[in-house]
Amino acid sequence: MTSKKEEFDRSIKERLKQKQFVKNPINGTKHTLLVSSAKGGVGKSTVAVNLAFALQNLGLKIGILDADIYGPSLPKLINLNEKPKSEDGKAMIPLEKFNAQCMSMGFLVDEQTPMIWRGPMVISALKTMTQKVLWKDRDLIIIDMPPGTGDTQLTFAQEIKIDAAIIVSTPQDLALLDVKRGIQMFDKTGVKVLGLIDNMSYFEGDDGKQYKIFGEGGVEKTAKEFNKDFLGKIPLNQDLRNSADNGDPLTHSNPDHEISKIFKSIAEKIIQFYQ
């Protein structure tokens, strides 16, 4: 019986053999960074957006591309719900919020519309979102990926020029198994994995004690195992959750918050790669 890993390795190899992919750049930006997670609900979008503003606080001109076609979360995270304009009817002008240029499928479809598209439609939407958006004068575009290692991830990894990726996980074993798969996918498609972030790492009680609700040390261990950097631990924190729900990311609304400082240290590590 073939293991899931063997099956996965084979499917990637077959996809790679099918054709030589041409990697298209995203215009209007110097660099790109994928924020990915192998499993949903680990806080990937929260981390992506807070990291984006932490990088902005360090002086970068940023763009945020929410590539989660099925479950876009950027409109809610930055409380923005306008339709992007187009001057020629072909390319869209990204929306602007808190000095960041932003694009999300959520700006284009009604919040109530369920996304029941098939793979090819998703891939075509992604191509529009990457090739038909007039990003302007950006240092870095942070791309919030949908969870998993499916078609969207492969499309990005194979057909769009991506400098690097980071992977967000919780310390749970279940999430970690998927993380290993994610690392292998990026490695095989030539996207540099800058490192792993351990989100919901612990909860700090009023007693000052750290409670390891989802376990401990697994993300760091996985990073070591695959020879990747461990970028940092983000605790479960109510202010972070509130700011996400209020549509003003904590690193933007309160850059001096202890959690914003953690994002700052991760942002500094990421910037080193681009220098």
- Interface residues toward ligand ADP, by CB under 6 A: 37, 40-46, 73, 199-200, 234, 236-237, 240-241, 244
Using Cβ positions, the residue closest to ligand ADP within the complex turns out to be 43
Closer CB to ligand ADP, residue 51 or residue 270?
51
User: Partners of 93 in the beta sheet?
Assistant: 85
Smallest separation (angstroms) from ligand ADP to the CB of 178: 12
Smallest separation (angstroms) from ligand ADP to the CB of 174: 14
Closer CB to ligand ADP, residue 98 or residue 214?
214
Q: Which two tokens stand for residue 191?
A: 């996207």
DSSP 8-state secondary structure symbol assigned to residue 24 = B
Q: Which residues contact 165 (CB under 8 A, 6 or more apart)?
A: 33, 34, 35, 36, 186, 191, 192, 193, 194
**Strand duo 192-204 + 210-211: pairing:** antiparallel
Closer CB to ligand ADP, residue 142 or residue 240?
240
Closer CB to ligand ADP, residue 195 or residue 249?
249
Closer CB to ligand ADP, residue 189 or residue 237?
237
Closest by CA position to 65, among listed 91, 99, 104, 96: 104
What is d(CA 265, CA 54) in angstroms, rounded to the nearest whole number?
9
Smallest separation (angstroms) from ligand ADP to the CB of 113: 19
Smallest separation (angstroms) from ligand ADP to the CB of 39: 8
Whether the CB-CB separation of 8 and 181 falls below 8 Å is answered with: yes
Where is 122: in which H helix or E strand? Answer: helix 119-131
Smallest separation (angstroms) from ligand ADP to the CB of 79: 14
